[in-house]
Structure 1
Amino acid sequence: MKKNYAKEKIKNGGAALGVISNTSDPLIAEFCGYGGLDYYMIDCEHGAININQVQDIVRACEVANITPMARIRSTDPKLILQFMDAGVMGVMMPGVSEASEIEALVAAMKYPPMGNRGLGPVRAWEFGLGKMPQVEYVQFANEQTLVLPQIEDIKAVENLEALCKVPGLDGFIIGPRDLAMSMGFYDGPAHDEVKKTIDHIFEVVLAHGLIIGTTAATGEQAKVLIDKGAKIIMNYVGGMLGQAIKAFTAP
């Protein structure tokens, strides 16, 4: 298992910059790694990506020294196990609003005693053929993985204090568009009430010593969020490509 570069950067006081991508092409992950990003989020919620393709993307990430993570649409431990065994080093779980959902996610991602993830001679452990003995690997894997539920619903905000107290949790990623829709704003998150709610999320999560992250479309937006305390900043790879196309084709 490789080191989690994104988690290491955060521990050292920095902010991890990355993208979320719903494409199954591993080359995109390599581009992002060689371009200097810290992590690559494989979007298996909105993307048609199967586990074999996930393995190929993880391999590409390892080659380019970018941390592979995934957004997975279920707390089913059997599904999460496949992603973890493939070498994914962090999971972003969408639509979480109850502490029990985070507890299930931690249990599925972590080996005992932190969770109940099953152990096998899988690629995340170099098929048991590498230099790392089992005891060392189990501890290392538990340390390196990132547990990142997504706050996308006002119900999660109402339960936030309880959510923050779940053992094994690393932090939260805010999904501003879905959060805004759950609050009755269907044209985006650029409303004062939504902004105040996001500020409240930052305040509570940071007070618990947890990681807070969200999305940014530009470097300027990312800087503002980092100054507020965000440690994970995410852009959409399609949006970045779209911006580049518009800039290139502008008169």
Structure 2
Amino acid sequence: MPVRLTLPDTLRDRLDAADRALIGLWASASSPVTAEIVAGSGCDWVLLDAEHSPNGLESVLAQLHAMSAYPVAPLVRVPYGDTVAIKQFLDLGAQNLLVPMVDSAEQAEEIVRAVRYPPRGVRGVGSALARSARWNRVDGYLGRADETVSLTVQIESAAAVAEAERILAVDGVDAVFIGPSDLAASMGLLGQQNHPDVVDAVLRTIERAVAAGVPAGVNAFVPEDADRYIAAGASFVAVGADVAILARQTEALVARFAAGDGRSDGDVQTPPRASY
């Protein structure tokens, strides 16, 4: 008798059921070993990044395999909102997609169509060949594929902030995720994620999302920023990345032993924290 399988809950399902902000970490090293270590940390969700990291289909698939034994929601950020790329990541079993650089409601609508099968969308049908349906071992996959996929679009420009209410109203957008770094750059404040104008834009977007009943997430690698945005109503927050944690902690460890300037142990300072 064939094995019949069910799929894990989506990030949308987990956000709906949560009574607190869900805490996430980035896995940017493109390593199944690192992804598994991150997944076992106790966090709620893990971002696998294919936009700014050396990740492709094969490496994301290997990391999804490595993380599948842990009770986390993998969120895969595709390189861009391309219909073909979205189809490929969905077919390899990514249930939770994050699409970067969404500046308008019209763009969000096209992305929604890319994650849905006809007649509601344009996703190519290859479930019998794909991990998404576990090679047709998930009963009725085609008829309820929308239930197995969650879509988050990224608001990370001044134009997107201005368009936020319309983006939030798009049917099929399950959540939005705010990127302060690109937002700051679009506002002429490159590298100034904590500038008051940037913080205000993030807070205004979270406020609009709360009013619309749509979960809003945000990158906040500095703890005080994370606290501020959670207090404002953010539903999910990324608080660190594997590569950044490795970089900062190895620097601090070497500094502890290699300062060589006569300072006592207590005088060695941890390198400054950075926000993304």
Deviations 1:91-138 (A, max 9, x none): 11111101121112111112345433233211121111x2x322xx24
Deviation at 1:57, TM superposition (A): 1.0
CA RMSD of aligned residues (A): 2.0
Identical pairs, percent: 28
Question: Which residue, out of 116, 119, 122, partners 1:110?
Answer: 116
Per-residue CA deviation, residues 196-216 of structure 1 (Å, 9 max, x unaligned), is 111111111111110101112
More displaced 10-residue stretch of structure 1: 232-241 or 93-102? 232-241
| Inter-CA distance 202–105: structure 2 relative to 1 (3 Å threshold) | same
Shift of 1:180: 0.9
TM-score (norm 1): 0.89
Equivalent of 2:215 in 211, 217, 220: 211
8 Å CA contact 1:9–1:15 kept in 2: the answer is no
- Partners of 1:6 and 1:38 within 8 A in 2: no
**In the aligned structure 2, how far is the partner of 1:50 from the partner of 1:32?**
19
Task: From 234, 237, 243, give the equivalent of 1:233.
Answer: 237
Secondary structure of 1:63's aligned partner: coil
Amino acid corresponding to residue 101 of structure 2 in structure 1: G
Runs of 4+ aligned structure 1 residues displaced above 4 Å come to: none
Which one of 188, 191, 201 corresponds to residue 187 of structure 1?
191
| Corresponding pairs, count | 247
Larger radius of gyration: 2
Partner of 2:38: 32
Deviation per residue, 1:125-176 (Å, 9 max, x gap) = 1111x2x322xx2455412322111111101111122111111111211110
Identify which of 51, 55, 59 aligns with 1:49: 55
Q: Which moved more, 1:170-179 or 1:17-26?
A: 17-26
Q: Comparing both structures, which one devotes a greater share of its residues to helix?
A: 1
1:199 counterpart residue number:
203
Amino acid corresponding to residue 166 of structure 1 in structure 2: V
**Residue ranges of structure 2 left out of the alignment (5+ in a row):** 1-5, 257-267, 269-276
Q: Which moved more, 1:31-40 or 1:138-147?
A: 138-147
Which residue of the partner structure matches residue 245 of structure 1?
A: 250
Contact 1:152 1:178 in 2 (8 A): yes
TM-score, normalised via structure 2 length: 0.82
Name the SS of the counterpart of 1:127 in structure 2: coil
